[in-house]
Amino acid sequence: MTEEEKPIEEVKAPSEETKALSKTERFATWLMTREERRAEKESNLESLIRLNVLVSFLTLGLVGGFETVQLAITMIPYLG
């Protein structure tokens, strides 16, 4: 037999490995894209929370005045 003429068993085995490897690669790619989407959602959620806090303090400032905002900031230990 020449190099080009291989038995069916030898030809079949590498293709099965390649098929399994491609499934593994596709699964890994899917996991990575899912994790990237999850990270994007978390960063979007964080930015929405920050925006909400900012708008809340601005509304409090407009309604209650600057002294009220100062009082609210002193009541929150991690912001003061």
pLDDT digits (tens, 9 = 90+) for 2-36: 555 655 555 555 555 556 678 888 888 889 998 88
- Domain annotation covers residue 22: yes
**Do 68 and 61 form a contact (C-beta atoms < 8 A)?**
yes
- CA atoms of 70 and 54, how far apart (whole Å): 14
N- to C-terminal Cα separation, the chain? 82
The pLDDT of residue 80 is 41
- Domain annotation covers residue 66: yes
- Domain annotation covers residue 2: no
- Domain annotation covers residue 41: yes
Domain that holds residue 37: 8-75
Q: Structurally, how many domains does the chain consist of?
A: 1
**Average pLDDT along the chain:** 76
